[in-house]
Amino acid sequence: MKVRVVQNVLDANDRIANTNRALFDEKNLYVMNLMSSPGAGKTTLVERTILALRERFRISVIEGDIQDTCDADRVAALGIPAVQINTGGGCHLDGNMVREALADLNLDETDLLIVENVGNLVCPAEFRIGENDKVMILSVPEGADKPAKYPLMFQEASVLLINKIDLLPYVDFDLAKARRDAQAIHPGIEIFEVSCKTGQGLEGWIAWLTRRMETRRTG
Amino acid sequence: MHELSLVLSLLEIVEEQASRAPFEKADSLLLSFGRLSCIDPQALQFAFSVQARGTRAEGAVLRFDIRPVTIYCLHCEKELSPPFFTGACPACGGVEVVLTGGTEEMKLIEMEVDGC
């Protein structure tokens, strides 16, 4: 007998993500899910963002890594509450892992929760965690062909940071193509060109994030 | 490696379906996903053959409906279906294109079941 189902295979994860989101909304906090390849500059962006916004907002961080705590240690060194999730080989965070990590954070004392996903351009795009925005970094040494190769990630992200632009003179990175392909995959995606090392261009990102948080928190 | 997570969720859905309208065994599962969703049918098949052992889906045949890549070219003013997404129109070479299909996430469309 044939049984018609038509159900998203990741429905179970989506249900947990929705429960997370309801909790975030109730606590009036804004959650961003930060995704990129390994080594694109996620933790450096987290540090830069903390330094720019720590006077205005109470920030907490969840760090997802396959193993070790060095990213969480970097964040904790700034005096920011940080929880490390070790996926033990898993290539992405899912709704349930984030749910369990929330128990170690004081959400009543948090305005901005940054979740740094496992470095990977494939799997994190599929697994919602209840975030308000997915934020993506593409660093110029990776090459301008990444949007065309990993379109789902670019489709899911609200904003794309093209990082390490201080290296543009030394690498073959077709900035126009990267921007064009990202727009072809996700018309209207916000794009900022930044260097998390030198700080160049970060003011646009910080202004965007602040605007998103304020829009979210006022209604 | 997301194939493993996808298979675990898939098996949960099969069990959930069986608890609603009981059946003994799933003989085949029809899955649909986009060509650009980075899902590897072989890896999926392998993960399934391991994870389905001892469940009512053990031995079920996986069938795939892989949704094609489609783009809309603003210059040609039509939808085309190139084998890959390159950021350019395969007909005119123009780069004024929008990706319109191929990243669909995985869905379980239907199952053939036995022993209802």
Between the alpha carbon of residue A125 and those of residues A33, A211, B31, B51, B93, the distances in Å are 10, 23, 19, 23, 29
Q: pLDDT-derived band of residue B116, with 50, 70 and 90 as boundaries?
A: confident
Q: Note whether B88 contacts A: Cβ–Cβ < 8 A.
A: no
Whether B13 maps to a domain, the answer reads yes
Q: pLDDT-derived band of residue B1, with 50, 70 and 90 as boundaries?
A: low
Q: What is the pLDDT of residue A67?
A: 87
Q: Which of B103, B107, B114 sits opposite A9 (nearest CB)?
A: B107
Q: What is the pLDDT of residue A218?
A: 64
Domain of residue B20, CATH code = 3.30.2320.50
Q: Do B99 and A127 lie within an 8 Å CB cutoff? A: no
Interchain CB contacts (distance < 8 Å): A and B: 99
Q: Which of A9, A181, A184 sits opposite B108 (nearest CB)?
A: A9
Whole-angstrom Cα Rg for chain A: 17
Helix (H) or strand (E) holding B108: strand B107-114
- A189 CB neighbours in chain B (<8 A) are none
Check residue A168 and report its DSSP letter: G
Q: Note whether A147 contacts B: Cβ–Cβ < 8 A.
A: yes
Report domain extents, chain A. 11-218
Residues 75-94 of chain A with CB under 8 A from chain B are 90-92, 94
**How far does A68 lie from chain B, in Å, by closest CA?**
20
Q: What is the pLDDT of residue B32?
A: 98
Number of domains making up chain B = 1
**How far does A36 lie from chain B, in Å, by closest CA?**
16
Residue A173 near residue A94, CB atoms below 8 Å: no
How confident is the model over B10-24, as a mean pLDDT?
A: 95
Whether B41 maps to a domain, the answer reads yes
CATH no. of A11-218: 3.40.50.300
Q: What is the pTM of this model?
A: 0.93
pLDDT means per 10 residues, chain A with 219 residues, are 93 95 96 98 98 97 92 95 90 94 96 97 94 98 96 96 98 97 97 98 98 81
Domain interval for residue B44? 2-68+103-114
Q: What is the pLDDT of residue A90?
A: 84
